[in-house]
Amino acid sequence: MSRKEQKEKNRPVILRLFAMIGPTRFVFVGALIALALSIGAESAGNLIIRHVVDNVIIAKAGLKTFALWAGLFMVMAMVRGILNFLQSLGKSRTSEEIARTIRDRVFDHLQRLSFSYHDTNKTGELIQRSTSDVDTVRRFYADQIPGLANTLFLFLINFAILLTLEWRLALFSVIAIPLIILLSWFFFGKIFSAYDKFQDHEGNMTARIQENLNGIRVVRAFARQDWEKENFRRINQKQLDLGYRLNFWDSFYWPFGHGVCGFQFAATVFVGGVMAIRGTISPGTFIAFSSMINALIWPMQELGRSLKEVSKSYVSFARIAEILDEDQEDLTSAALTRDSNVQGKLEFRDVSFHYVEGVPVLDNISLVCEPGSKIALLGATGSGKTSLVNLLPRFYDYTGGEILLDDKPLTHYSRHFLRQNIGIVEQEPFLFSMTVRENITYSLNREVTQEEVEEVARAAAIHDSIMKFPKGYDTMVGEKGVSLSGGQKQRITIARTLLKNPRILILDDSTSAVDADTEDKIKESLEKLMEKRTTFIIAHRIQTLKKADRIFVLDEGRIVQEGSHEELIGREGFYREVFDLQTRMEQELQDELSAAGAAKVLSHE
Amino acid sequence: MSDTNKLENMNFSGDFSGRTIRRILSLTLPHWKMLLGFSLCIALTAITESTATYLTKIIIDKGILAKNYQVLFNLSLIHLGCFLATSLFVFGFIYFAGRLGQLLQFDMREKLFNHLQELSFSFFDRTSSGWLLARVTSDTRRIAELASWMLLDVIWATFNIIASLIYMGMINVKLALIMLVIVPFLAWSAVKFKSYIIKEFRKVRSINSRITSAYSENINGVKIVKALTRERANARIFGNLTTEMYQASYRAAWLSGLFMPVVQFITSQAMGFIILYGGWEINLGGMTIGGFRAFIAFVAFMIWPIQDLARVFSEMQQAIASAERVFTLMDMEPEIGDEPDASQEASFKGKIEFRDVDFSYVEDTPVLTGFNLTVPAGQTLAIVGPTGGGKTTLASLISRYYDPGQGTVYLDDVDFRKYTQKALQSRIGVVLQTPHLFSGTIEENIRYGAPGASQEEVLAASRRAHAHEMILNLPGGYEEQVGEDGTLLSVGQKQLISLARTILANPDIIIMDEATSSIDTLTEQNIQQGMEELLKDRTSVVIAHRLSTIRNADRIIVIEDGKITEEGSHGELLRLGGHYHHLYTSQFRREHTSSLLA
């Protein structure tokens, strides 16, 4: 991490929130200036009315001067309109630009965070942060800052003018403002907390309804409709009570605020009236005064809300910053800059690895794998097979020893380079909601011809199925398109890997998630995939393993046995146990079949 | 069942139709006191507020300009009184409208929820739970807001405009008439313009939901993204999406930024005209200075509701569309009705017989045709066969989750339509492939099928299901929370609990869809023993995958394309050397291998 990033992290979050504005800051400041000017123009309009009343109407200056002033009033109004428009242009430009920047950054950042980060963070939580929290930050610039500025400018500009018109009356007219601010701060505290409770419970209620709808078959199977209704009634009732409570605070605050503001206004009008009768102020000043006080007092009611909302944006931004402060995986830097092809020789030298300090997952693993050879890993669940192969694309970095690829340490290669040269077929195939073609070409950053795509689809034995889809290769996968069977999905991922054409291949239990019928169908396409590639196979069946050049048996993170199939069955140990059990199982099966009088089956290939 | 039948695809216009509005009204009428309360309060608010503005006119003319302290003092008191009265009315309308809104939501949520409990399975097959959820939550909220806050806005706007116009008329008739001409024009153009803006904001929302799903997919598939080094391409594609978002939002924002200035500009031109004309009138003595000031205040006063009108209308339109959806849903009859003379009580020895049953989910695509099958009481029937062959359909028909098109199912030689669905379904235990648990404790979940059961009975059922040990090993034992949809437990644990639940409910007939997912050996053994316990002495139909289940069944049928292609005992079918033979040998290898290495 660069020093600049470190410095960024140590700054207070609220400053960073303001720093998000970046190069658009001039636009934003411009927008705020436009806002202030437009408020000024409005006040100027009031001053024009004052002038008209005092010097035109009362002085009976005649229609000509009148027309002049009316014209000026209209021009002022136009200026105000233009300023207002500029203001909204500026603030929406700023806020949308910031929202886009954050969205892009969060999106890219998330896909560059390490595996361990994604292992420990919930998807829903991350999505929540990247959508609704980003929107809260957007609103901070679009609504909250301009809103606060509006209240503030209305107050400052009008108050300043009032002071010059008649300072004693001006001071008198703001007496209630501290009270209004206090009241609104207090009540909005209550309203927001009542609202949070209301929202929380609404979340629970929604979850409850969702659960009921998802489990409606169980409800029916046990004929529990009446109980469900009763149960929902309670939750619904609580929601009603919380709604009442929220409404209660609302219905108290607004009349309070209104009453205080109204009191202040009426009192000012009265005192101003007295002053006007005495001649301390002119009638025009009185009229301008009353309009400007109006503009000054009423927005104060909302000040508490604005301040509370600003504090919410702060929390939202802190949650986003938490993601952005996580260190990215370094994808590109490498000691070796090489364009030449990977040969595919792999060597593990005393490699150890752990996720959590003190809990070793791999311990002193040493093995050599020649280019193009096939390595099989056998072991019980949790013996470290998947962890071992996850080290190759540097999904995790080993904590001890060394892995060499073509005789150079793995850490000398960039993660990107390694991942481009390693293909993985996982247990649970994952496809994106794109077209079938886009899924197959997913890993290639170049134009791919239809022939290429069809060729790999044929090799993966999925071409015919694809042609039966409504739009062939252009059919969408997933919710908006066809739903695929597990076997079909797996074959598309095989096609995807074939097209990627990696030198090194990892088959991580690739057939265990599909049913027996499908497994047979996939087998051939997997064979095709393995041709001429350095391959790591994780599997449970001796039939799958025995063709490997070397087999390693793992137990609790250690290699306990290694050798070819022939060597291993000749020795005592786990492999032979498994082999014997499987042979016995075949025997049992044959026995059972012959007992039933059924035809024997050939030993399974 | 065609696509037009699908509620989700139906088009709800949101037109102001009399029927929908009458129906909303009839929902509101039971709470007429609140409706009346807030209508009165908001009308009075509009009146007192405009009166306060009119008072400033008299204060200026009769108090200040006439230099009369007494009048100034008296009028100021009334002025203050107006504000205090307004406060009271503000309290009233928020209180009543808020309560009414909450109450209406409560009513509708309850009605909808209860209604959904009674709808047929086929309805839930073609209607997603997400869609239904939105009806129960957001649609009911919109309808409640229509009858409370939106109605309030309309009443406020009406009274505000009328009161303002009347006071304006009192100040100067000619100017008021000019305003009367301008107002409709202003209102019309405001509504047009605003509707256009609202449309732009809808586009923004739809892009926003694409952004959300892009996030979701990339986070869910992050390991594949990394493995296939797609980071740069994905960031580029996503960047296009956010740029699209930026452009759409910016456009919507500047359009709506244009709206207020335009409205303000038109008003100001009107005001400039008033100053000009008013000044002339004042010179002629047709208008007072106070009137002049009040008139300008009234113009500003009227602009608010007018420029807000468009928003209210568009929200009302959405609310009415919501109401149409909700009412259509409320009007849905369960597709499977109970016969009028159906028996409320049922108890079965357990003989099941399909007689010439035809069934199809979609017209012209029959799943079963002339299907016949008899399961004698107490027997276990295992169904095997490829996915999509009709196994699940067959099992679902027994509980009458669907009605056969032709023919019927007899239970103990009685047509199953002779029982109410509730009576029938409460005697048939259904164990699903992916067991569904409800959030709550384990004990609550076991008790779900037999609410009155004692603690001992719960424990006994759990022991028989071989779930007891597993449960005691959890930190909270029977009090352990299972999480939403049971997510805090493993699939195997959920299956054990669902077995205990069914054993406790003690049904006469068992329908079971066996799980295929791999489970650790110990749990697997427990499940097998628990199942044997459950199936003992009961008629049961099992969609079977496990060897032990298949072997222990009294009879096995192989179903392909809705037809029984092979039938007999385990040995008989093996000898046949057909589909069953193949299926059995693959499953045999699979199970033995995975049990070895788990």
Distance from CA of A490 to the nearest CA of B (A): 13
Q: What is the pLDDT of residues A365-379, one digit of tens each?
A: 999 999 989 999 988
**How confident is residue B478, by pLDDT bands cut at 50, 70 and 90?**
very high
Q: Do B439 and A283 touch (CB under 8 A)?
A: no
What is each CA distance from A554 to A83, A358, A388, B226, B541, in whole angstroms? 74, 19, 10, 27, 42
Name the more confident of B531 and B323: B323
Q: Does the structure show a pLDDT above 90 at B369?
A: no
First to last CA, chain B: 45
Rounded Cα distance, A214 and B285, in Å: 76
Q: What is the pLDDT of residues A403-452, one digit of tens each?
A: 999 888 998 888 888 998 999 988 778 888 889 999 999 888 788 899 99
* Beta bridge partner(s), residue B555: B381
Closest CA to B540 of B561, B530, B555: B555
Q: What is the pLDDT of residues A272-311, one digit of tens each?
A: 999 999 989 998 999 899 889 988 988 888 888 888 888 8
* Beta bridge partner(s), residue B365: B362
**Residue A445: closest C-alpha in chain B:** B233
In sign, the C-alpha dihedral spanning A441, A443, A447, A453 is negative
> Which whole number is the average pLDDT over B425-440?
84
Closest CA to B119 of B332, B357, B289: B332
Lowest mean per-residue pLDDT among A420-424, B284-288, B364-368, B479-483? B284-288
Going by DSSP bridges, is the β-strand pair B563-568/B555-560 parallel, antiparallel, or unpaired? antiparallel
* Chain B residues in contact with A223 (beta carbon < 8 A): 422, 425-426
* Chain B residues in contact with A237 (beta carbon < 8 A): 106
Q: Do B113 and A229 touch (CB under 8 A)?
A: yes
Copy the structure tokens of residue B487: 């997510």
Q: What is the pLDDT of residue B3?
A: 38
Lowest mean per-residue pLDDT among A170-174, B212-216, B520-524? B520-524
Rounded Cα distance, A167 and B575, in Å: 109
Distance from the Cα of residue A539 to its chain's centroid: 35
Q: What is the pLDDT of residues B85-95, one digit of tens each?
A: 999 999 999 99
Q: Do B575 and A52 touch (CB under 8 A)?
A: no
Residue A422 identity (one-letter amino acid): I
Rounded Cα distance, B453 and A226, in Å: 17
Q: Which residue from B86, B235, B261 is facing A81, i.e. has the nearest CB?
A: B261
Taking the CA atoms of residue B363, residue B365, residue B370 and residue B376 in that order, the dihedral angle to the nearest 10 degrees is -100
Q: Do A274 and B72 touch (CB under 8 A)?
A: yes
Distance from CA of B101 to the nearest CA of A (A): 9
Average pLDDT value over all residues in chain A: 86
Q: What is the pLDDT of residue B516?
A: 61
Beta carbons of B290 and B59 less than 8 angstroms apart:
yes
Q: Does the structure show a pLDDT above 90 at B42?
A: yes
Q: Looking at the complex, does the CB of residue B433 fall below 8 Å from at least one CB of chain A?
A: no
Percent above pLDDT 90 for chain A: 36
Name the more confident of B587 and A573: A573
Q: What is the pLDDT of residue A586?
A: 78
Percent above pLDDT 90 for chain B: 33
**Kind plus residue range of the DSSP H or E element containing A367:** strand A359-369
Distance from CA of B90 to the nearest CA of A (A): 6
Q: What are the strands of the beta sheet with B555-560, ordered from one edge?
A: B428-431, B509-513, B539-543, B380-384, B555-560, B563-568
Q: What is the pLDDT of residues B490-527, one digit of tens each?
A: 878 888 898 899 999 889 999 888 766 656 667 777 88
Closest CA to A158 of A32, A307, A291: A291
Q: What is the pLDDT of residues B48-106, one digit of tens each?
A: 999 999 998 999 889 888 889 999 999 999 999 999 999 999 999 999 999 999 999 99
Q: Do A224 and B449 touch (CB under 8 A)?
A: yes
**How confident is residue A524, by pLDDT bands cut at 50, 70 and 90?**
confident
Q: Do A104 and B239 touch (CB under 8 A)?
A: yes
Q: Does the structure show a pLDDT above 80 at A596?
A: no
- For A215-224, where are the alpha helices, taking DSSP H only? 216-221
Percent above pLDDT 70 for chain A: 95
Q: Does the structure show a pLDDT above 80 at A453?
A: yes
> Which whole number is the average pLDDT over A461-487?
82
Beta carbons of B268 and B300 less than 8 angstroms apart:
no
Using CB atoms and an 8 Å cut-off, which of residues 461-520 of chain B contact chain A? 484-485, 501, 505, 516, 518
Distance from CA of A82 to the nearest CA of B (A): 7
Average pLDDT value over all residues in chain B: 85
Copy the structure tokens of residue A295: 């503009």
Q: Does the structure show a pLDDT above 50 at B208?
A: yes
Distance from CA of B16 to the nearest CA of A (A): 28
Q: Looking at the complex, does the CB of residue B204 fall below 8 Å from at least one CB of chain A?
A: no
Going by DSSP bridges, is the β-strand pair A550-555/A374-379 parallel, antiparallel, or unpaired? parallel
Q: What is the pLDDT of residues A305-361, one digit of tens each?
A: 888 888 888 888 998 998 999 888 888 887 776 666 788 899 999 999 998 888 888
* Beta bridge partner(s), residue A28: none
Q: Do A541 and B449 touch (CB under 8 A)?
A: no
> Which whole number is the average pLDDT over A19-29?
88
Q: Does the structure show a pLDDT above 80 at B388?
A: no
* Chain B residues in contact with A270 (beta carbon < 8 A): 72-73, 76, 79
Rounded Cα distance, B582 and B598, in Å: 24
Beta carbons of A525 and A459 less than 8 angstroms apart:
yes
10 Å Cβ neighbour count for B148? 26
Rounded Cα distance, A386 and A396, in Å: 11
Rounded Cα distance, A345 and A405, in Å: 6
Distance from CA of B487 to the nearest CA of A (A): 12
Full 3-state SS string of B534-573: HHCCCEEEEECCCHHHHHHCCEEEEEECCEEEEEECHHHH
Q: Looking at the complex, does the CB of residue B289 fall below 8 Å from at least one CB of chain A?
A: yes
Q: Does the structure show a pLDDT above 70 at A605?
A: no
Rounded Cα distance, B19 and B30, in Å: 18
Q: How many CB pairs under 8 A join A and B?
A: 435
> What DSSP line would sit under B167-219, residue for residue?
HHHHH-HHHHHHHHHHHHHHHHHHHHHHHHHHHHHHHHHHHHHHHHHHHHHHH
